[in-house]
Amino acid sequence: MIFTKLYNMALRWASHRHATYYLGGLSFAESSFFPIPPDVMLAPMTLANPEKAWWYATLTTITSVLGGIFGYLIGYFAFELVQPWIEQFGYMARFEMAKTWFEQWGFWVVLIAGFSPIPYKVFTIAAGTMSLLLPVFAIASLIGRGSRFFIVAGLIRWGGSRLEKHVREYVEWLGWLSVLAIVIAILIWK
């Protein structure tokens, strides 16, 4: 029952009086260096307070884009300092692939990476090393990240307690299916 425990823990965090600060901090950090996506807090916070769904999505988007700009600046000014960590955590092959994609598609790569579950930090740092125009990067990040977080918040707000009953009932299955999907994605990616 590992995922049920994690789900209950996330719901408790979501109702903490400082939850919005945690959500903002997590969103910022995930875009530049932290591995856990903000969706794990955005969804239960929206479930706990559906009337604040759009505020949570806005906060998550803004802090994520600011974190992405921080990641961009890391790539632009200090890539040599973070390169050993990128290699240590096994992101170097993805980083090299991201650089190749930037050469071909630029704006679109950032937009798609911002929306997808691909580790966004890889693309923020790569955008900086490739010197993608910062306004282009910021606009693509805003559209990609915003789309993702507003869809998550909107679905949770719309589904509400009906959705929560189903999530709670199938949380173990959903958790293990997510793990399986991640493992398959990693195997395909490599």
Of residues 162 and 71, the one with the higher pLDDT is 71
Quote the pLDDT of residue 30: 85
Q: What is the pLDDT of residues 21-55, one digit of tens each?
A: 989 998 998 888 776 778 878 888 898 889 999 99
Query: Is residue 68 one of the residues assigned to a domain?
Result: yes
Work out the angle at residue 160's Cα, subtended by the Cα atoms of residues 64 and 1, and round it to the nearest 5 degrees: 80
Query: Is residue 7 one of the residues assigned to a domain?
Result: no
Query: Is residue 168 one of the residues assigned to a domain?
Result: no
Query: Is residue 139 one of the residues assigned to a domain?
Result: yes
Work out the angle at residue 157's Cα, subtended by the Cα atoms of residues 152 and 159, and round it to the nearest 5 degrees: 95
Query: Is residue 177 one of the residues assigned to a domain?
Result: no
Query: Is residue 171 one of the residues assigned to a domain?
Result: no
- Full domain range(s) for residue 32: 12-159
Average pLDDT taken over every residue of the chain: 82
Query: Is residue 186 one of the residues assigned to a domain?
Result: no
Highest mean pLDDT: which of 8-17, 77-86, 178-187? 77-86
Query: Is residue 100 one of the residues assigned to a domain?
Result: yes
Sign of CA dihedral 123, 40, 152, 170: positive
pLDDT tier, 150 (very low <50, low <70, confident <90, very high otherwise)? very high
Highest mean pLDDT: which of 71-75, 112-116, 117-121, 156-160? 71-75
Quote the pLDDT of residue 134: 94
As for how many domains the chain has, the answer is 1
